[in-house]
Amino acid sequence: MKRILTGLKPSGELTLGSLIGGIKQTVLYQDEYDSFIFVPDMHAITVSQDPKELRERIYKNVALYLASGIDPNKNTIYLQSENLYHANLSWVLECTTYMGEASRMTQYKDKASKGENVTVGLFTYPILMAADILLYDAEYVPVGIDQKQHVELARNIADRFNKRYGDTFTIPEPLIPKVGAKIMDLQDPTKKMSKSDETYKGVILLLDSEKDIRKKIMSAVTDSEGKIYYDVQNKPGISNLLTIYSSLKEVTIEEASEHFKDYNYGNFKKEVADVVVEVIMAIQKKYNDLISSNQIEEILDKGSKRTNALAEQKLKEVFHKVGLGRY
Ligand code: ATP
Ligand code: LTN
């Protein structure tokens, strides 16, 4: 069975974007692949975090993965920080990555250009991400479009290592969803819906109340044309709502546009809100059951055991090839 692997940073509350661009992709592939989904908690501390909140969020996110349809019998679910091999491999990979290629990462450049508190970890984090992927020889990495460049860096690092030290890593490929690759902010549909947003006004959180979800969608920024069709350049707000609807209903953009072509904006938004509420409320119902059970502990123990065994083997091979220690 081919292996897929993905993770969602617990740096903020999970959003509708995380669900559509991240979790749903894994759910889609969990029957066909040996599927790994983890909490990249070490990535979260590239920006400052409150320790108590972070600890709680890590746990909440595992419950949200499960509540969103990640089946623990079909997935290996684990926490990055419970596996010390990730950071070890990352160090070796950092020593084979050039400043030039790391400096080209647009996510880093965007964040750094906003100024203060840019840590070295924020700069090297795509290399830790490469380690997350290469440690397990993942063939496919389901991610949103904004992470594609990082998976490409992982490919380059793997390829270079293999050429220098002999075949060691599988070259991973990004899996980008056709619909919903990027869900935009409802208040500013030219920017990504992000869990790092300060106000969450245009961001739907997976743990938002029904009332808040409806309010956020009904006040989504659109345009004054009054016609519903897909055109990202000229109608980013409407296009974003069509994207959300079509990915949750699992229909194409064309089908969604056809369905809404005679609607006015108010009715259109209401129907989009109905779908979002239905999906998110079902997730919350399962979430509430899970969070108070001890299932999560058991699932994480199992995941940690399996991934530590695999990672130990791989890291020993890498250390040996590079000439480190007595491996
Ligand atoms: P954020 O900017 O919200 O902090 P992120 O992309 O840095 O998010 P994750 O939550 O770790 O971090 O992302 C998990 C996955 O979900 C990634 O593959 C990412 O591309 C995808 N994703 C996150 N937000 C969106 C979005 N608004 N639209 C589509 N995919 C998204
Ligand atoms: N960098 C990603 C999260 C992430 C990840 C990974 C995704 C860390 N390691 C490995 C896929 C595979 C992000 O910020 N969304």
pLDDT at position 95 is: 98
Q: Is residue 80 part of a domain?
A: yes
**Alpha-carbon distance 72 to 61, whole Å?**
14
Q: How far is the CA of 323 from the centre of ligand 2 (A)?
A: 29
Runs of H (alpha helix) within the chain: 16-18, 24-29, 41-44, 51-67, 85-94, 99-103, 106-113, 120-134, 148-165, 210-218, 236-249, 253-260, 265-291, 295-322
**Alpha-carbon distance 135 to 291, whole Å?**
30
**Alpha-carbon distance 212 to 205, whole Å?**
9
CATH number at residue 283: 1.10.240.10
The ligand 2 atom at the shortest distance from the C-alpha of residue 142 is 11
Give the CA distances from residue 303 to residues 83, 153, 252, in Å, rounded to whole numbers and listed in that order: 10, 26, 35
Is any ligand 1 atom within 6 A of the Cβ of residue 146? yes
> Which DSSP category does 146 fall into?
G
Is any ligand 2 atom within 6 A of the Cβ of residue 147? yes
| pLDDT band, very low/low/confident/very high, at 314 (cuts 50, 70, 90) | very high
Nearest by Cα to 232 from 248, 145, 224, 223: 223
Q: Helix, strand or coil for residue 186?
A: coil
pLDDT of 116 above 80: no
Q: Which residues are known to be catalytic?
A: 111, 192, 195
The ligand 1 atom at the shortest distance from the C-alpha of residue 144 is 20
pLDDT at position 292 is: 86
In terms of domains, do 163 and 270 share one? no
The ligand 2 atom at the shortest distance from the C-alpha of residue 11 is 14
Q: Is residue 16 part of a domain?
A: yes
For tokens 């380059």, what's the residue? 156
User: Which residue's alpha carbon is nearest to atom 13 within ligand 1?
Assistant: 8
In terms of domains, do 215 and 171 share one? no
| pLDDT band, very low/low/confident/very high, at 178 (cuts 50, 70, 90) | confident
Q: Is residue 196 part of a domain?
A: no
| pLDDT band, very low/low/confident/very high, at 323 (cuts 50, 70, 90) | very high
In terms of domains, do 20 and 100 share one? yes
Is any ligand 1 atom within 6 A of the Cβ of residue 8? yes
Biggest distance spanned by C-alpha atoms of the chain = 71
In terms of domains, do 7 and 36 share one? yes
Structure token pair of residue 320: 């040996």
With pLDDT > 70 as the criterion, what percentage of the chain qualifies?
100
Mean pLDDT for the stretch of residues 30-40: 97
Query: Are 11 and 195 within 8 A, CB to CB?
Result: yes
CATH number at residue 124: 3.40.50.620
pLDDT of 278 above 80: yes
In terms of domains, do 169 and 20 share one? yes
User: Which residue's alpha carbon is nearest to atom 5 within ligand 2?
Assistant: 7
> Which DSSP category does 294 fall into?
S
Mean pLDDT for the stretch of residues 110-128: 89
In terms of domains, do 299 and 234 share one? no
For residue 38, the ligand closest to its alpha carbon is 2
User: What residues make up the domain containing 267?
Assistant: 210-289
The distance from CA 195 to its chain's CA centroid, rounded to whole angstroms, is: 11
User: Which residue's alpha carbon is nearest to atom 8 within ligand 2?
Assistant: 129
pLDDT tens digit string along 12-31? Answer: 999 999 999 889 989 999 99
In terms of domains, do 242 and 149 share one? no
In terms of domains, do 152 and 244 share one? no
Q: Which residues pair with 175 in a beta bridge?
A: 142
In terms of domains, do 84 and 215 share one? no
The ligand 1 atom at the shortest distance from the C-alpha of residue 43 is 11
The distance from CA 74 to its chain's CA centroid, rounded to whole angstroms, is: 19
Domain tally, the chain: 2
Strand order in the sheet with 3-7: 75-79, 34-39, 3-7, 140-142, 173-175
Top-confidence residue, 239 or 118:
239
In terms of domains, do 300 and 285 share one? no
User: Which residue's alpha carbon is nearest to atom 18 within ligand 1?
Assistant: 143
| pLDDT band, very low/low/confident/very high, at 74 (cuts 50, 70, 90) | very high
Q: How far is the CA of 17 from the centre of ligand 1 (A)?
A: 6
**Alpha-carbon distance 217 to 189, whole Å?**
12
Instruction: Name the strand (E) or helix (H) holding 35.
Output: strand 34-39
The ligand 1 atom at the shortest distance from the C-alpha of residue 143 is 18
Mean pLDDT for the stretch of residues 102-125: 89
pLDDT of 197 above 90: no
Nearest by Cα to 279 from 7, 22, 19, 99: 19
Is any ligand 2 atom within 6 A of the Cβ of residue 132? yes
Q: How far is the CA of 303 from the centre of ligand 2 (A)?
A: 18
Q: Name the phi and psi angles at 21, rounded to 5.
A: -80, -25
Q: How far is the CA of 324 from the centre of ligand 1 (A)?
A: 36
In terms of domains, do 307 and 270 share one? no
Q: Is residue 327 part of a domain?
A: no
With pLDDT > 90 as the criterion, what percentage of the chain qualifies?
87
Q: Name the phi and psi angles at 275, rounded to 5.
A: -65, -45
pTM of the model: 0.94
In terms of domains, do 160 and 25 share one? yes
Is any ligand 2 atom within 6 A of the Cβ of residue 129? yes
pLDDT at position 254 is: 96
Structure token pair of residue 219: 């006040």
pLDDT tens digit string along 135-150? Answer: 999 999 999 888 999 9
Mean pLDDT for the stretch of residues 48-56: 96
